Amino acid sequence: MKKLHFLLTAGTTLAASAGFAGAAHAQAFYLQEQSARGAGRAFSGEVADTGAASLWWNPAAIADAERIEVNLNAAAILPRGEVVDTGTLIRRPGSTAFTPIGGETTSRNPINNGVLPSGAVAVPLGHRVALGLAVTSPYSFTTDYASTSWARYSADKTRLRTVDIQPSIAVSVTDWLRVGAAANVEYTDASLSNALPNVLASLPDGRQELKGDGWDVGWSAGFQMHSDRVTAGFSYKSAIRHKLKGDLTVSGLVGPLQTGNTALSDVRADFYTPAQQIAGLRWRATDRLTLNGQVVHYNWDKFDAIRLGAPLNQAIPENYRESWSYAGGVDYMVSPALTLRAGVQRATTPTQNGQRDARVPDSNRWNFGAGGSYAVTRNIVLDAAANYVDFANAPIDRATIAAGSTILTRGELRNARAFVFSLGGRVQF
């Protein structure tokens, strides 16, 4: 009984370890708010733009650096929405009947507000070579469902922080061709938990919690082609295999389930975050107006399963699918000091109907952005942007097994949206 219970509870918990995000703002649990300049045009031209502000998207972006440039950004992310029960049922151990899950039927704003910082620096080495360093947090959020929520057996409290350190090198091969390459060194720290049902609905719930961290490495490479009016860019960011090691605690189970209470260390799991292929174009239509376009393909199908190490030695299917984002935007130079921007982005979700749970209530979305830059001096530029992200309603319908209970999840993500406000600054020395 203890071994079976451990397989069920640990598997459920670790399965969530790769699905950290709820209403994120690029796709699934990826956050793209790494540049206030890019946010103003809904991230429609970053792979083809130049300077440290585009380093996350394309390491070739700094190849033409003539002076040291530092870029700092912060994005306040304010998600809103409801995760609603539409008839979830539970069958507890020893019972043959399914009954309503109980609890609060509507969880409002389960994804916490947050501030996402990022920064980058470019340093020229002679005329055609530059070194760069970007520090970002592409997978970070906190979610908090009430202990009485209908979704408590799928998700309770989750906290994820990642730090991506990207050292880069870029070279101007010719006057029109620039290339770059980078390593992506990522640290991941996670803490997540959910409730566990006891045999009787009248008994208090048990609880399980996983804490873990790990260091992992990927890579990026890209190029840009420049002419007087047009810049084209392409980059590839590799998938990263994340390997977490941490502690699992199961407590509060009573009666025939109490043998499942345990505290284990050295629990391991590994999963992949997706590769990205990014292509973009910037066309200077007039001396003042630049048109931008960008397409991103995400290999989320790499996130097909979470593979658990000893003592479990099993794989839990996730079955994400490939997905895309498409963006278009404009930059308009009002004066030598002031540039205004606007853009729109469409992104499809990698989550699939029938396999979406409350911990990752993701859906297709539209991202509308507006912003601008103001040159305070020749060497200091301030960037600001505001984005409104509108999420489609989507079913939450992934069945769950927790502490021997079978849960038929029937819920819906409704009225989901996010407001994002970004500030940044670029300084040259």
pLDDT of residue 9: 40
Question: Which CATH number characterizes residue 129's domain?
Answer: 2.40.160.60
**Residue 266: strand, helix, or coil:** strand
Domain that holds residue 353: 2-428
**Pairing of the two strands 206-226 and 157-172:** unpaired
- Report the predicted TM-score, pTM, of the whole model to 2 decimal places: 0.91
In angstroms, rounded to a whole number, what is the distance separating the alpha carbons of residues 139 and 164? 9
Q: Over the range 282-310, which residues count as b (16 or more CB within 10 Å of their CB) and which as e? A: bbbeeeeebbbbbbbbbbbbbbebbbbbe
Q: In what order do the strands lie in the sheet with 89-91?
A: 99-100, 89-91, 405-408, 400-402
pLDDT > 90 in the chain, percent: 72
pLDDT at 303: 86
Number of domains within the chain: 1
Residue 79 has pLDDT above 90, yes or no: yes
- CA dist 321 and 317 (Å) reads 12
pLDDT at 357: 84
Q: What's the pLDDT score for residue 168?
A: 98
- What is the average per-residue pLDDT within 156-169? 91
Question: What confidence score (pLDDT) does residue 137 get?
Answer: 94
Provide the pLDDT confidence category of residue 386 given band limits of 50, 70 and 90.
very high
Whether the bond between 311 and the residue before it is cis, its omega within 30 degrees of 0, is: yes
Across the range 13-31, mean pLDDT stands at: 51
Residue pair 273/298 in contact (Cβ under 8 Å)? The answer is no
Q: Residue 370 pLDDT > 70, yes or no?
A: yes
Q: What's the pLDDT at 25?
A: 53
Cα–Cα distance for residue pair 232/280, rounded to 1 Å: 6
**Element holding 11 (H helix, E strand):** helix 2-16
Q: Would you report the helix, strand and coil content of the chain in percent, each value rounded to 5?
A: 10, 55, 35
- What's the CA dihedral at 245, 246, 252, 257 to 10 degrees? 30
Report the pLDDT value the prediction gives residue 265, as an integer from 0 to 100: 86
Question: pLDDT (tens digit, 9 = 90+) per residue, 111-156?
Answer: 889 899 999 999 999 889 999 999 999 988 788 899 999 999 988 8
